[in-house]
Amino acid sequence: MSSSKSNKIVKLESSDNKTFEVEEAVAVQSETLKNMVDDGCANDTIPLPNVNGKILEMVLGWCKKHVDETVTGDELNKYEADFLDLDQADLYGLLMAANFLNVKGLLDRVLQRVADMIKGKKPEEIRRIFNIKNDFTPEEEEEIRLENAWAFD
Amino acid sequence: MEEAEAERTWNRETIPKVLRIVSTRLPQRDLISLLLVSPWLHRTLLSYPSLWLVLDLCEMGNAGNRLVAAISLPRYHHVKQIKLEFAQDIEDKHLELLKSKCSDSLQNLESLNLNGCQKISDKGIEAITSACPILKIFTIYWNVRITDMGMEHLVKNCKHVTDLNLSGCKNISDKSLQLVAENYPKLESLNLTRCIKLTDHGLLQIVFKCSFLQSLNLYALSGFTDEAYKKISLLAHLKFLDLCGAQNLSDEGLSCMAKCANLVSLNLTWCVRVTDAGVIAIAQGCTSLEFLSLFGIIGVTDECLEALSRSCSNTITTLDVNGCIGIKRRSRDELLHLFPYLKCFKVHS
């Protein structure tokens, strides 16, 4: 019958109805998709309602690069480093997608990038970086600050 | 209107979701900083108990008061691990306060690190152990105040200890080892570094009763003799054995240890009575050996290295033969020839 290396195509549909077709070897970089393939649920188009087309294309690009045997170690390093040169909205979309699709290497990198943005920063700085509104009342803020004062030098 | 809606979604949904995932990567201080950022983050992070299972106050000053303040918070009610290594200003009274005010929060505690907390005495041990019945890992390195009495409290209150580190607790005697042997038959790891009061009598209790021991550290204990060393052979699950400074250990004693077939790491630094015979026996019995130090042993020759190479050349990655003047071929290249996977050539400084 068929050879041991599957030439199967996996079809994916993003939240904004864009379809993508990739080889199974690419798709299974995602543990989530791998589980579906293993369970025999990957024969029809798989809908991904929480990943939009732009982000899905990025994730699949990453996966493709990582199964491409012609890519050298150095090229891959550079690719990975440049990959996260994104604006914040895309970065977070990527994080959510990598988390949902469980693409380990990608998830690790994105998590580390965002964690590095937070490390050592005060709450006000974190709000600035992530454009977060301070919805605390002054009393609430003071109460929470006091009850957690033990954690800081 | 649309902008307000987008802002709402960003603040109340997107940011909490994203940062909740990132929070698993953050050290404690940054994680708690996130709590102070917005009420939505605060609520989201608190709703994930798995983020709040470890309390880390290592090296902090005023640690006793910080500890009580932290444990009083509801989010630490299921804390599993408390780290106070080299924390300053933590005393018995803080542990007593924890017991009287917050003992409910310590019911799930599995791991307690009091390394370097030199002010803690038996009283503090009594207090804290009475509040954490399922404690598994207890480490109190470098505390010269605790005595056998402290160990009595530990074995009375905590029946499930598997890892015990008493390194540098110089006032511990054989009585403690008897208590440990009688109460922890499933003990996996025991560190008795520099507990200089211990004798063969105590060690024998351990080897007879703690048959599941995987790690035994007897660093800088020169008082034991072959009488006890020979019986280490009973520890069939032993993987890690540190005998640095075992000046009384003879070839006969060491040969018995060859029965510990699962041994991965063996430190024989300054075991000055050992010769080729002992090491060759080990080579024949312990074929999974990865780490071996023969530092300072002048009685071993190239013969023992050849024996080791015959059985362990695939596994040995650390070998310290500095000061082994009886071994003539021990340059880096010569050692690599015998042990191709060797990475580390120096253990003892």
Burial classification of residue B146, based on how many CB atoms lie within 10 Å of its CB (0-12 exposed, 13-18 middle, 19 or more buried): buried
CB atoms within 10 A of CB B309: 17
Q: What is the pLDDT of residues B164-196, one digit of tens each?
A: 999 999 999 999 999 999 999 999 999 999 999
Inter-chain contacts counted by CB atoms under 8 A, chains A and B: 89
pLDDT band of residue A2 (cuts 50, 70, 90) is: very low
Contacts of B60 in chain A (CB under 8 A): 153
Point out the residue among B17, B36, B39 whose CB comes nearest to the CB of A135. B39
Percent of chain B past pLDDT 70, that is, above it, reads: 99
In the predicted structure, residue B321 carries a pLDDT above the cut 50? yes
Q: What is the pLDDT of residue B193?
A: 98
| B3-20: average pLDDT | 89
Q: Per-residue DSSP letters for A8-38? A: -EEEEE-TTS-EEEEEHHHHTTSHHHHHHHH
| B76-96: average pLDDT | 97
Point out the residue among B18, B27, B73 whose CB comes nearest to the CB of A96. B18
pLDDT band of residue B149 (cuts 50, 70, 90) is: very high
Locus of tokens 């003892």: B348
Query: B30 and A118 in contact by Cβ < 8 A?
Result: yes
In the predicted structure, residue B259 carries a pLDDT above the cut 70? yes
In the predicted structure, residue A3 carries a pLDDT above the cut 60? no
Q: Residue B131: what residue type?
A: A
Asked casually if ipTM beats, i.e. exceeds, 0.85, the reply is yes
pLDDT band of residue B11 (cuts 50, 70, 90) is: very high
Contact B125/B146 with Cβ under 8 angstroms? Answer: yes
In the predicted structure, residue A4 carries a pLDDT above the cut 50? no
| B119-145: average pLDDT | 97
Q: What is the pLDDT of residue A5?
A: 52
Interface test with A, best of B11, B33, B40, B68 (most A CBs within 10 A): B33
Strand partners, B217: B191, B242
Mean pLDDT of chain B: 96
Touching check for A153 and chain B: CB below 8 Å? Answer: yes
Burial classification of residue B211, based on how many CB atoms lie within 10 Å of its CB (0-12 exposed, 13-18 middle, 19 or more buried): middle
Dig out the tokens for B168 from the structure. Answer: 């540098």
Which carries the bigger pLDDT value, residue B96 or residue A40?
Answer: B96
For residue A139, the distance in angstroms to the closest alpha carbon of chain B comes to: 12
H-run or E-run covering A47: strand A46-47
H-run or E-run covering B318: strand B318-320
Locus of tokens 């207090």: B127
Q: What is the pLDDT of residue A6?
A: 61
Query: B37 and A123 in contact by Cβ < 8 A?
Result: yes
Q: What is the pLDDT of residue A8?
A: 86
pLDDT band of residue A42 (cuts 50, 70, 90) is: confident
| A9-18: average pLDDT | 94
